[in-house]
Structure 1
Amino acid sequence: MSTILITGGSGLIGSALTQMLTKRGHTVIILSRSEKQSTDAKIKYAVWDVEQQTIDADAIAQADFIVHLAGASVAGKRWTEARKQEILTSRTESSKLILKALKEMPNKVQAVVSASAIGWYGDDKKLRKGVKAFTEDMPADDAYLGATCSAWEASIQPVEQLGKRLVLLRIGIVLSKEGGALPEFSKPVKMGIAGFLGGGKQAISWIHIDDLCRIFLHAIEKPEMKGVYNAVSPEPVTNKELTLEIANRMRGRFFVSMHVPAFVIKAMLGGMSIEVLKSTTVSSEKVLSTGFQFVYPSIDTALTHLLA
């Protein structure tokens, strides 16, 4: 079994991935800003400091693979200029530290699997005529998230020059019981309101948390996987479809559906509203071509599990 070093291991994805990896017999080392102890023999902690660009050399020496998830939450706070800078630098500076460690410290790291996001892509309106979905070979959008994802991916790219295999996963909207988008969609439904954002027709390219973790594991275990892959379900849904699916499962017939006007969302979220209101249909064909199979390919199968 392998030892996997995870940055951002305490977040939504990192926590779920750690559980899956340890159940498969792997050892996980989670990088933390402070010293911690684990009661699980398969989970260890090591200290790193991105600002000071320091990292535990023993953790690097033990690692067979690195999963890079570190970065400030995109949806956690309103997008002030300071917050946007924090979102960017938390990603690029942590990549810089990983590169520094792999250059300067003895290691046996075979591959780095790094998170990115479908924020790389723009609105569906930017797709060429006849093209139904964004694919990995398409250029980054020129809006804030597109530029951020471009810088994020570029910051970890030099790993390849060190002779390490690099996989970049552009992650869609993650659905999980433990956090992320699903609890936010569920909040108004609990009060009997199914609120469609804007027109409600915008496409959401989503993924079940378990399938996402399985893609990370797939990328670790398949040496032929290199480069960029979209980590999204093969069946995107509209905002309205997702909201109604959640409402039907949580409330049966006992809810009121309504549209939340775009100007209200813009007033509440500021610049972040662009991402909430845009339609982004993303292809999963490339990851499927590697032999990966989704356990939860449709929103029906995903919500049956998550809202059981």
Structure 2
Amino acid sequence: MMDTVLITGGTGLVGRALTDFLLDRGYQVIIFSRHKAASNHPRLRYALWDPARKTLDVTALQEADIIVHLAGANVADGRWTKARKQEIVDSRVQSSQLLFDQLRDQPNKVRKVISASATGYYGEFKDHAFTENDPPATDFLGATCKAWEDSVQQIATLGKKVVILRCGLVMSLQGGALREYYKPVKLGFAVAMGNGEQWVSWIHLQDVVRLYYNAIVNDQLSGAYNAVSPFPVTNQHLVQSLAKAAKGKSFINVHAPAFALKLALGEMSVEVLKSMKASSAKILQTGFQFSYPTIDEATQQLVRDQQ
């Protein structure tokens, strides 16, 4: 009998791709959603939960063997107003707290909880690639990721294994930041953010999904791992690779000035302009192999898939 995997945030970019991957391999999948939804797959169903109201479908929780916790408001949707920042934090911490409370209070057979986090945990890259032992940044995203991870880690006190994947920029043209970079590329412009020299730690969507699957099946994994390709690139290199894959040599390099980004994005511009290099050494040491380790392999596959 295959495990039942309960996914929170299952309707997002990573959640949809992971759901398809697991269904293809014979798993039962339950997705926690705040809205009623019907499934047309015999091994997929939706169950209701509402972290803000501290309610969830206990039956669904009791059916689960493994929880993949992806829930959280999209960081890049809209300016970081005070209310928006509170929503970004609450959507992560309240949902993790609800899982902890219910796993503590209800009989269940959950063995493992695998949670999303982000490389926003770390500060500005100076001289070394961040490892999982580095302290969190003190800025908004660093504090958010720390609170998020702490709220998940308490589940380990219930005797359950906890794995946390600190994800870099997810390479997909189906959603996320890369789709925004791709819009001007289609018109022939490779638009670098600021001077374009800031480092970007990235990962192909298919490798993100394979990492979550690896965490499901590999019981040796425990604690935090950077979910990033072994080869980070500069922002300019990233957009040029995307442009080359889509347009060959017929594109124009453009820079979006830092001051314009600050006007357009407000505080969120800090993240777009931040130089961030995270090390994938820890996950590589477990034997995991990336399908798309280099940026050119990743962008060529993504553009090919679009055509």
TM class by shorter chain equals: over 0.9
The correspondence of residues 267-278 of structure 1 with structure 2, limited to 5 A, is 267-278=263-274
Deviations 1:212-264 (A, max 9, x none): 01000101111111100000001111111111111112222222112221111
2:52 partner SS: coil
Letter in 1 for 2:41: D
Deviations 1:113-170 (A, max 9, x none): 0000000011112x4xxxx300000000011100100000011111010000000110
Letter in 1 for 2:28: T
What is the match of residue 79 of structure 2? 78
1:30 partner SS: strand
Structure 1 position 285 matched with structure 2 position 281: yes
What is the distance in 1 between the residues matched to 2:37 and 2:81?
32
Structural RMSD (CA): 0.9
C-alpha displacement of 1:181: 2.0
What is the distance in 2 between the residues matched to 1:13 and 1:112?
16
- Which structure 2 segments of 5+ residues have no match? none
Structure 1 residue corresponding to 2:150, chosen from 151, 154, 172: 154
What is the match of residue 215 of structure 2? 219
Structure 2 residue corresponding to 1:239, chosen from 210, 235, 238: 235
What is the match of residue 8 of structure 1? 9
What is the distance in 2 between the residues matched to 1:50 and 1:91?
9
What is the distance in 1 between the residues matched to 2:297 and 2:51?
39
What is the match of residue 89 of structure 2? 88
C-alpha displacement of 1:51: 1.6
Most deviating of 183-192 and 276-285: 183-192
Are the aligned partners of 2:121 and 2:136 in contact in 1 as well (CA < 8 Å)? yes
TM-score normalised by structure 2 residue count: 0.97
Are the aligned partners of 2:173 and 2:182 in contact in 1 as well (CA < 8 Å)? no
Are the aligned partners of 2:124 and 2:275 in contact in 1 as well (CA < 8 Å)? yes
What is the distance in 2 between the residues matched to 1:52 and 1:187?
38
C-alpha displacement of 1:177: 2.5
Structure 1 position 202 matched with structure 2 position 161: no
Structure 1 position 250 matched with structure 2 position 246: yes
The correspondence of residues 132-143 of structure 1 with structure 2, limited to 5 A, is 132-143=128-139
1:156 partner SS: helix
Letter in 1 for 2:61: I
What is the distance in 1 between the residues matched to 2:53 and 2:137?
32
Structure 1 position 163 matched with structure 2 position 159: yes
What is the distance in 2 between the residues matched to 1:29 and 1:138?
34
What is the distance in 2 between the residues matched to 1:163 and 1:155?
15
Letter in 1 for 2:227: A
TM-score normalised by structure 1 residue count: 0.97
Most deviating of 213-222 and 250-259: 250-259
What is the distance in 2 between the residues matched to 1:44 and 1:72?
22
Deviations 1:54-97 (A, max 9, x none): 11111111100000000000001111111001000000000011
What is the distance in 1 between the residues matched to 2:72 and 2:254?
34
1:124 partner SS: coil
Letter in 1 for 2:85: K
